[in-house]
Amino acid sequence: MHSWRIRPFAGLALAGLAAACARTQQVTSGGEVAPESEARAATTLAGPPKRDSIRQKIGKDTIVVVYTKVPAAGQKVFGGIVPFDTVWRTSLDTPPTLRTTAPLQIGGVQVPAGTYTLYTLPRSLNGARRCELTIGALKVDFSSELASPWQLIFNKQAGEGATEYNPAEDAARVPMYACLLADPEETLQFRFLRSGASTYQLAMSWETAQTWIDFRLAR
């Protein structure tokens, strides 16, 4: 299995979405619904998106993420069709879901076993660093320098109703590492990476943004 190595060397970024923005409920970082942008609603992405999934087996337990691989189609994603400081569904139409058979420990936050919808809160990447990817173990050599880091939101509302974000259903919000890719990622991608004997990472990349969280089983 290939994993990736991240080494910083100068800036930072992350997030994306478009055509379905007309139906995407936008919520500010405070949990309030933000006005929809007619310009974003009219924007379309070239190329059909497709559903994909990734799986991480840890002993007898399994973590699965199902998501839509959205093409950027040459458009500015983060800070463009996906605004900063607004809760984003992390996909096109259908938000990603994460199912874990064991509780996860993410920093000081514990996420119980179960199925969650994943939302993202992108932040401005001004003053952040760049990163490059190479084959090898994922290694974090720095902490985010952003005043307000990105957040990954585990929301208990799953299924069809998950297309409408409800902050009252949040199970956890965890900070994310973020850096700028030297080579842009055309399509939204999720990856599981191993960072230690019992530690793992869930990474998301799109356009010039690479983001990730560190986690382990909470046992």
Q: Quote the tokens at residue 75.
A: 């458009």
pLDDT digits (tens, 9 = 90+) for 98-136: 999 999 999 899 999 999 999 999 998 877 777 755 444
Q: Quote the tokens at residue 16.
A: 């994306």
Q: Provide long-range contacts, Cβ within 8 A and 24+ apart, for 46-51.
A: 46/71, 46/73, 46/74, 47/71, 47/73, 49/92, 49/93, 51/94
- pTM (2 decimals)? 0.78
Domain boundaries of the chain, sorted by first residue: 4-217
Positions of the chain with pLDDT under 70: 1-48, 132-147, 160-161
